[in-house]
Amino acid sequence: MIRFGIDAMLLALISLAFVAGAAADRTPEAPPAAVDAVDALRKQLGAALRGAIEEEGPIAAIDVCRDKAPQITKALQNEGVAVGRTSHRLRNPDNAPMPWMKPLLEELRDSTAAPGRFRVVDLGEAGTGYVEAIYLQPLCATCHGSNIAPALHDEIRARYPDDRATGFEPGEFRGLFWAVVPKPAS
Ligand code: HEC
């Protein structure tokens, strides 16, 4: 079990092992600021999505997803914390993974749904990277599943001509929430 107070050098080596894709099921402790930022993004986005679908229907909710997601991520960026979403199969190319996220997408893409599956990566001077796996829920299949209503699918294709984020089954790995936070001053 890896705990706080571990030699920083060892921590960096373990993180590098993750980046290299080495099989490992242990991960350093998640930085609380990163966990908080991702929690806030997940909750606010989920509430906005559910509210919009219930009140205005899924077609109007596309705009909520497109406009609200960047607004929420921007509002959560403070004190050097950055947060967002990415995927191995993107709808919006603006959400493309940064290089350090790619091995984690590879590693987790065949994983089965488990609550709070996360990874921590040492990004050197850039800080600490944190990712949390996202798995498809039944609601998400409305816009990311294999049986999207034709009118809704047309709207999605019109806004996202290069959409690769359909055909997901509930429980399938959909992508990552990510956060980058500064390292504690030492
Ligand atoms: C109303 C339709 C709709 C629903 C329902 C929906 N999404 Fe999306 N999703 C979108 C749209 C539109 C985007 C592109 C947003 C943007 O432009 O940044 C997107 C983007 C994403 C992304 C960012 C990566 C990418 O492909 O661009 C993830 C991850 C994601 N959705 C996961 C989910 C999950 C998980 C759920 C269920 C909790 C969900 N979505 C429900 C429409 C939807």
- pLDDT, tens digit (0-9, with 9 covering 90-100), for 18-46: 443 333 445 678 999 999 999 999 999 99
Q: How far is the C-alpha of 87 from the C-alpha of 144, rounded, in Å? A: 12
pLDDT in tens, 157-166: 999 999 999 9
Centroid of ligand 1 to alpha carbon of 112 (angstroms): 19
Ligand 1 pocket member 101 (CB < 6 A):
no
Q: Single out the residue of 71, 57, 135 nearest to residue 84, CA to CA.
A: 71
Q: Is 141 in the pocket of ligand 1 (CB under 6 A)?
A: no
Mean pLDDT computed over every residue of the chain: 86
Ligand 1 atom having least distance to the Cα of 176: 29
Domain boundaries defined on the chain: 30-181
Measured CA angle at 161 (ends 160, 165), to 5 deg: 60
Q: What percent of the chain has pLDDT over 90?
A: 73
- Res 118: pLDDT: 95
Q: Give the integer Cα–Cα distance in Å for 39 and 46.
A: 11
Please give the average per-residue pLDDT across 59-63, as a whole number.
91
Q: Is 66 in the pocket of ligand 1 (CB under 6 A)?
A: yes
Confidence band for 115, pLDDT divided at 50, 70 and 90:
confident
Question: pTM of the predicted model, to two decimals?
Answer: 0.86
Residue nearest atom 15 in ligand 1 by C-alpha distance: 66
CA 86/CA 72 separation, integer angstroms: 15
Q: What is the pLDDT of residue 64?
A: 82
Percentage with pLDDT > 70 across the chain = 85
| pLDDT, mean of residues 119-144 | 95
User: Residue 186 — very low, low, confident or very high, per pLDDT cuts 50/70/90?
Assistant: low
